[in-house]
Structure 1
Amino acid sequence: MAGPKTTLWELEPHTRAKHDLLRRYLGGWFPVLSAYNGRIVFLDGFAGPGAYENGEPGSPLIALDALLTHAYFPRMSCEFLFFFCEADPKRFESLKELIEVYKAENYPWPSNVKVEAVNSPFEQTATDLLSHLSTQKKRLAPTFAFVDPFGFSGLPMNLLADLLSFSRCELFVNYMVDFVNRFAGAGNVDHHLTELFGTDEYKHAASLRGKERQQFLHDLYQRQLSEVCGLTYVQSFAMINRTGHIGYYLFHGTRDVKGVELMKDAMWKVDPGGGFTFSDRLAGQDVLFTEVDIDVTPLRAALLREFAGRTVNISRLEEFTLVNTPYRKTHLRKPVLSPLEREGLIQVGRPGRSGFPEGTRVTFSSY
């Protein structure tokens, strides 16, 4: 872990996995958003020095590379604006230098890709950006805000709400629940925690212990992102380390179910490595994100419970799978619906002779 005076530090396995996830998500997000917008923005709130101890790229270069190396980039005609915020002067100088090196390596630099690195905290940069837009009476272009702090200060909920008030903005935030869990109720950093949550309800954690305490703090943050920031879909993914404990949560918030689909696809494709594993919860059960020996039993049970005695369109089942479970759309048809049909637990009305194409209607047996 980098200390306050450290310029470069070792790339840890969980950070490598997080960066792999970021790259994969942007690989889907860039072409989808660029097809319908004249400008899109990537905002890195805690950009760091741009690289790690052994030369591995940091999130700013990963984001740039995800765009420039994309197979569809030559066909993306919109303007891409990258904002990189780094408060530490030495890290900022390192970041600027590495950006210039990357630009030189990719000469000639595409005219529709703009990069702005700012030597200021995320909170100040975001506030200045919103103030400028207000003065100009403009709206923020579709934005993906990647917010990856070392702790929990400098990340006020009301600022996130202002930033995310623009309809096509998404958030991917590292919620350091271990730090929060340690200090909630201690009383010495209450002002930071009140800003983080946008409420002082976190103080109720003082009477809780163990997993119940951690789950309460998770649920409170998720609720605030949904209600205060107005995000329709807020998903969390636990980073479980090799000891089986949760190191932190990754929260993704969006108003578009397509964003949920892209994030699920990215999550299931990432190889965490180093003993770290992604997980989510369904009916009190851990569902691990690995494409090897996928257990779809929780998805099967959830579908049977939710739609018992009902007839629904296949698109409704896809939406339920994406929004209400940790699974992908690809886990629905062959892994779950086909066995249910063979067992007589569902009746299928399909427009074709086989499969579950668009327009398919599925009737679930009653319990």
Structure 2
Amino acid sequence: MYAPWSFRDDYVILRAAATLTATGRHMAASKDVIWPRDPHTAAKHALLRRYLQAWAPIMLSHNEIITYAEGFAGPGIYTGEEPGSPVVAHHVLAGALRRFPRRVKMVLVEEDPRRKTELERRIAAAAGTTQQTGRLDVHITQGQCHPDLLQQLARARSLQHPMFVLLDGFGGPVVPFHLLQRIANQRRSEVMVTFQPSFLVRFAEKNEHHRAAGDSFFGDRGWHGVFREPSSRKAAYLRDRYREALGRAGFQHTLVFEMIDEASHLLYLIFGTRHERGVEKMKEAMWVVDSTSGVRYRDPKDPNQQALDLELEPDTGPLRRILLDHLRTNPIPHTVDQLKNYTLLETVYRPTQVIPLLKRMRDERDIDVSPGRIIGTSTVATLHQSALF
């Protein structure tokens, strides 16, 4: 039976994992105050900005106080003068407060004292350009994501209000499961975690401390099955187990973005929420065209694992394969509404992309639709087992 780790055990194990991961992925970040922004980060910030632009007005229209938090806040700037995620968030939240006479708290934790000082300077500069500083309350603390973020959220009295928590470390297993559980206790809160599976794939099988870091990250030892998976399946196996972990933590709906940069480096961006509307808004943020980041997405459920270019007229070939696979492995007829809901909750595509695709699939004799007109209550079944390929 899995023995729970103590608070101190979590801290020591996750610090070791963070050190190794930082060495592997962001060598510059481990020693420099600021560093160049990589393509993954550019794409994450574009997604963050667009999502917060939807999230903040929705939350402020129903709540007196909301919180944005980060456990790995950084210096707030990159060498090319691009704003860091706290500054991106500050700009969006200050803009939202112009429409709503409510309050927003920002809780930002950064380990390096030099970066904390730089972040304070950048936030002060951002605050100087707005008129909502009295209602936009920023708490910046030097410390570790674990245990200091949870302590600071409690100190700011944010745990009883809706939160959006960004846990964007160096991609390794540095976020303890019980932190996710505590965030999920607030039913209107959401979390976004970055996860680079290469750390556990490379180091954990033969190293007890790294396995313990994985246990703390996933909340149990079920992920150890990765050691029996073929190399080609290890990353996907860890991805699926972590999505399950978010579900166990209390996030009813999860959304996985597989982000691939121009050098084919893989990073998982995993979003957790308890509300379908959060999934819908995150999808809308993703599908806004951004051709400048150099990063493409990939749907985890696509059998061909095709990278997607987010275009005004998107390539729905991967969604076609996903839906055919779903229909083939679940051979009872499905309604159009059921397929739209499956698309929303289980793929990176949007429900609005389903009906045009089904019309093409019907015309190409991949599926049978009854009655012939495609509406929400119409039933869909595959015509050809080979259509998936």
Query: Counterparts in 2 of 1:145-224, with a 5 A limit?
Result: 145-152=165-172, 154-187=174-207, 188-224=209-245
The one-letter code sitting in structure 2 at the alignment partner of 1:276 is V
Residue 244 of structure 2 aligns to a residue whose secondary structure is helix
Distance 1:31 1:118, change over 3 A: same
- 1:113-169 residue CA offsets vs partner (Å, 9 max, x unmatched): 221111121212333146558xx8x95211111010125354111222122222111
Choose the corresponding residue for 2:81, options 41, 55, 61: 55
The reply on whether 1:255 has 2:271 as its aligned counterpart is no
Give SS of 2:29's match.
coil
Equivalent-residue separation in structure 2 for 1:17 and 1:326 (angstroms): 15
Alpha carbons 1:152, 1:196 under 8 Å: kept: no
* Equivalent position of 2:66 in the other structure: 40
CA separation in 1, counterparts of 2:223 and 2:310? 36
- 1:284 counterpart residue number: 303
Alpha-carbon distance in 1 for matches of 2:224, 2:153: 31
> Hey, what's the Cα distance between the residues in 2 that align with 1:42 and 1:272?
27
Deviates more, 1:218-227 or 1:92-101: 218-227
Change (3 A) 1:109 1:78: closer
1:128 paired to 2:148:
no
* 1:13 aligned to which of 16, 36, 39: 39
1:223-267 Cα deviation digits (max 9, x unpaired): 11112x121111211121324342x21001111111111111122
- 329 and 240 in structure 1: CA distance in 2 versus 1, 3 angstrom threshold: same
Provide the C-alpha distance between the structure 1 equivalents of 2:351 and 2:290, rounded to a whole number of angstroms: 19
- The answer (yes or no) to whether the contact 1:341–1:348 under 8 Å persists in 2 is no
> CA 1:274–1:298 in structure 2 vs 1: closer, same or farther (change >3 Å)?
closer
Change (3 A) 1:323 1:96: same
Alignment of 1:209-358 (within 5 A): 209-227=230-248, 229-246=249-266, 248-271=267-290, 273=292, 275-292=294-311, 294-300=314-320, 302-303=322-323, 306=327, 310=333, 312=335, 314=337, 316-333=338-355, 335-340=356-361, 345-347=368-370
- Per the normalisation by structure 1, the TM-score is 0.85
Q: Distance in 2 between matches of 1:146 and 1:75?
A: 24
Residue identity in the other structure for 1:318: K
User: Unpaired segments of 5 or more residues in structure 2?
Assistant: 1-25, 384-389
Percent identity of equivalent pairs:
30
Q: 1:301 to 1:202 in 2, by over 3 A?
A: closer
Query: 2:282 & 2:308 partners in 1: Cα distance?
Result: 12
**Contact (CA 8 Å) 1:348, 1:361: kept in 2 or not?**
no
Aligned twin of 2:14: none
Distance 2:276 2:296 in 1: 24
Q: Residue 80 of structure 1 corresponds to which residue in structure 2?
A: 104
In structure 2, the CA distance between the partners of 1:41 and 1:20, relative to structure 1 (3 Å rule), is same
Supply the AA of the counterpart residue of 2:63: N
Aligned letter for 2:61?
A: A
Aligned match of 1:119: 142
Asked whether the equivalents of residues 238 and 250 of structure 1 are also in contact (C-alpha less than 8 Å), the reply is yes
SS of residue in 2 equivalent to 1:294: coil
Cα distance 1:42–1:153, how it changes in 2: closer, same or farther (>3 A)? same
Instruction: Provide the C-alpha distance between the structure 1 equivalents of 2:30 and 2:346, rounded to a whole number of angstroms.
Output: 39
User: Residue 379 of structure 2: which of 357, 363, 367 is its match?
Assistant: 363
SS at match of 1:269: coil
Separation (CA, whole Å) in 1 of partners of 2:332 and 2:205: 47
Instruction: Determine if contact 1:27/1:66 at 8 Å carries over to the other structure.
Output: yes
Contact persistence 1:144–1:169 (CA under 8 A): yes
Q: Could you say if the C-alpha distance between residues 311 and 6 of structure 1 is closer, same or farther in structure 2, counting changes exceeding 3 Å? A: closer
**Counterpart residue identity of residue 364, structure 1:** V
How many equivalent pairs are there?
Answer: 350
Report the alpha carbon displacement of residue 43 of structure 1 after superposing the two structures with TM: 0.7
TM-score (norm 2): 0.80
Q: Secondary structure at the match of 2:300?
A: strand
Give yes or no for contact 2:303–2:322 (8 Å, CA) kept in 1: no
Distance in 2 of aligned mates of 1:122 and 1:237: 23
Equivalent residue of 1:361, what SS? Answer: coil
